[in-house]
Structure 1
Amino acid sequence: MTEHLPFVRLRAIEPEDLDILYGIENDTRLWNVSVTSVPYSRYTLYDYIANSKNDIYADRQVRMMIENKCGEVVGIVDLINFDPKHLRAEVGIVIEQKFRNKGFAQATINQIKDYSLNILHLHQLYAYVNKDNKQSLNLFERCGFISTTELQDWLFDGKNYHNALLFQLFL
């Protein structure tokens, strides 16, 4: 039986997304699962939006807004650490709190897989996931990623180190 997932549309970041981006980037609850450790100013984020070429080859990353069928932004998905020689990129996703546990993350990962394979012609996507983050572990497993390595003390939350699992998907 096929699971019904909600409609999602991926689009480029627009200046109108500044408040959403500002909220996500400065949410300290997310910092322990990312490389962010300082707040971003509105000016810095506006400058990022204005100067990003939105070209993975130029920027070595691409960030897209995730919209639902009503045009509401439900989150952000990133392809970062793009390696054009080895044709791989790291995937990261944040779904706004009020839209979590409704299938938007899985629908988005499915779309980013299709985009990575058919548009970017990538060979591999990967993600680092905190071993204690059951929701993210389940998400990547449902989307076909395989846990290939456990990295000891990989993530630091400001007080404690946490092991991370490296998830890989070969396209």
Structure 2
Amino acid sequence: MIGKFPVIETERLKLREVTKEDASDLLRYLSDEEIVKHMGLPPFQSVDDAYDEINWYSSIYQEGTGIRWGITLKENDQVIGSCGFLNRQPKHFRAEVGFELSRKHWGQGIASEALEAVVQYGFSQLQLERIEALIVPENLPSQRMVEKMGLQKEGLLRHYEYTNGKFDDLYMYSLLKDDL
């Protein structure tokens, strides 16, 4: 997957690589407790937290285990969220998709537009057969969004992750290439 970072454009959005210059944008929305409460992260406290996140995006891309795009509106290039793949398993043709969006952009269809483009990229460019989404039961808006896109709820993974000092149950959703 190494090489020039791919840019994806949709009707309203430009999905692009997140760089150190975007740290203040990430800090702005990832310091919001409402945004991170379902992500297994504490709210960001400083720009160093944002740099750590950007470094993680870069490392998963370099290692080929994932790719995370910054979500920007075409008119201003400010990062307002991110969307992409992690835990990519090329041998098994699958990856997990994740996303988050700044609160002031909720309810406008932006996350759905970004997720749809990323899913298409995964099937067409990464040769994925299966895309998974792991969502905490309390995160009803994300569940509704992925269900609307056609992901199927497969079941509950009990105490699947340990984050922020507690065990989290996660719903497993999936979309197969043939489901489209």
Answer yes or no: same fold by TM over 0.5.
yes
- 1:95/1:50 Cα in 2 relative to 1: closer, same or farther (>3 Å)? closer
Secondary structure of 2:122 counterpart: helix
- Give the deviation of 1:41 after TM superposition: 5.2
How many residues are treated as equivalent by the alignment?
Answer: 167
User: 2:27: which partner in 1?
Assistant: 22
Decide whether aligned partners of structure 1 residues 30 and 110 sit closer, same or farther in structure 2, where only a CA change above 3 A counts: same
| Cα-to-partner distance string for 1:76-124 (whole Å, 9 max, x where unaligned) | 1131111111121111111111100000011011100111011111111
Aligned residue number for residue 98 of structure 1: 104
1:168 aligns with 2:159: no
TM-score, length of structure 2 as denominator length = 0.76
Inter-partner Cα distance in structure 2 for 1:53 and 1:109: 20
The one-character-per-residue Cα deviations of 1:54-95 (angstroms, maximum 9, x if unpaired) are 774625121110112313433111311111111211111111
Report the Cα distance in structure 1 between the residues aligned to 2:107 and 2:26, rounded to whole angstroms: 21
Distance 1:19 1:157 in 2: 24
Q: CA deviation at 1:14?
A: 1.8
Shift of the 33–156 alpha-carbon distance from structure 1 to 2, 3 Å rule, reads farther
Cα 1:157/1:43, change in 2 over 3 Å: closer
Q: Are the counterparts in 2 of residues 15 and 49 from structure 1 also a CA contact under 8 Å?
A: yes
Q: Quote how far apart the aligned CAs of 1:28 are.
A: 3.7
CA distance in 1, matches of 2:173, 2:109: 20
Contact conserved, 2:17 with 2:68, CA < 8 A, in 1?
yes
Picking from 125, 131, 137, the partner of 1:125 is 131
**Alpha-carbon distance between aligned partners in 2 of 1:157 and 1:53, rounded to the nearest angstrom:** 22
Aligned residues with identical type, % of pairs: 22
Deviations 1:17-42 (A, max 9, x none): 11122344444444442233585753
Note the aligned Cα RMSD (angstroms): 3.1
- TM-score normalized by structure 1? 0.79
Mean Cα displacement is larger for which, 86-95 or 144-153? 144-153
Measured after TM superposition, the shift of residue 159 of structure 1 is 8.6
Structure 2, unaligned stretches of length 5 or more?
A: 1-9
What CA deviation, in whole Å up to 9, does each residue of 1:130-153 have, x standing for no partner?
Answer: 223221111001111100112234
